[in-house]
Amino acid sequence: MSFEKLSNNDKWVVLKSLFDEKGLVRQHLDSYNNFIEHEMQAIVDESGEVIPDIPGFKIKFGKIKVGVPKVREADGATMEITPIEARIRELSYAADITLEMTPITIDERTQREEPEETLDIYIGKIPIMLKSCRCPLESLAEQELINRGEDPLDPGGYFIINGTERVLVTQEDLAPNRILAEEASRSSSATHQAKVFSTRSGFRAPVTIERKKDGNLRVSFPSVPQEVTPPLSLLRYILTSGP
């Protein structure tokens, strides 16, 4: 197999093709689209239903839906909104979220469930990322974007909140439920440290274990103001279980 050496011009062609196909914010768009199309429904499916304090009654959840960006005017009318309008009028470029809810009556004698009519219930709003799967700008051609007052070279990947453009900045974080042990600094009162971000069902609690210079072990919890000295059996349970 022979390898040809790429010239500088060839490298620029490759870079241009990458930017034309993927763009500079593809990671933001892909992450947001996945959340809208899959993760939101997964969160609803995890709950499945809600059982209120009413005997023989519950509400079952169905499909969650995200609409197109809209704004409610002073007279109560609801109209679609464009990004340029949101910037000028200092509005949020957001869409309504509706959730299918089915009231179910349960016969206490036979435990038979009798579902009623399924309703689309408004549960809130969510900011819409520009050029995402819920943004009308995604499928517009260059001239159509210009006609709407948008820059055709704008890659999107950001939000408009109260007329201000805002972007989510990714941050590197420690892996959940993994113990990271290290030697403490010389100025510390401990010789070694072990940290774990204990995570379960969306809840997260950082736990720190220190080995003091006198050999004692101390554990720090977010909800406990002072360090505690646990027995070894409890220490093993802390390191191997979630919050």
| Blockwise average pLDDT, block size 10, the chain, 243 residues | 68 80 84 93 89 85 92 88 93 94 83 84 94 90 90 91 88 75 80 82 79 80 70 60 53
Q: Which pLDDT score, from 0 to 100, does residue 87 have?
A: 93
**Cβ–Cβ under 8 Å, residues 71 and 91:** yes
Q: Go through the domains of the chain in sequence order and give each one's CATH number.
A: 8-166 (no CATH), 180-240 (3.90.1110.10)
> Would you call 193 helix, strand, or coil by DSSP?
strand
Alpha-carbon Rg for the chain, nearest whole angstrom, is 27
**Cβ–Cβ under 8 Å, residues 242 and 196:** no
**Cβ–Cβ under 8 Å, residues 29 and 129:** yes
Q: Which pLDDT score, from 0 to 100, does residue 239 have?
A: 57
Q: Which pLDDT score, from 0 to 100, does residue 242 have?
A: 52
CA-to-CA distance for 204 and 127, rounded, in angstroms? Answer: 25
Q: Which pLDDT score, from 0 to 100, does residue 2 have?
A: 52
Residue 1 to residues 4, 7, 14, Cα–Cα distance (Å): 10, 19, 21
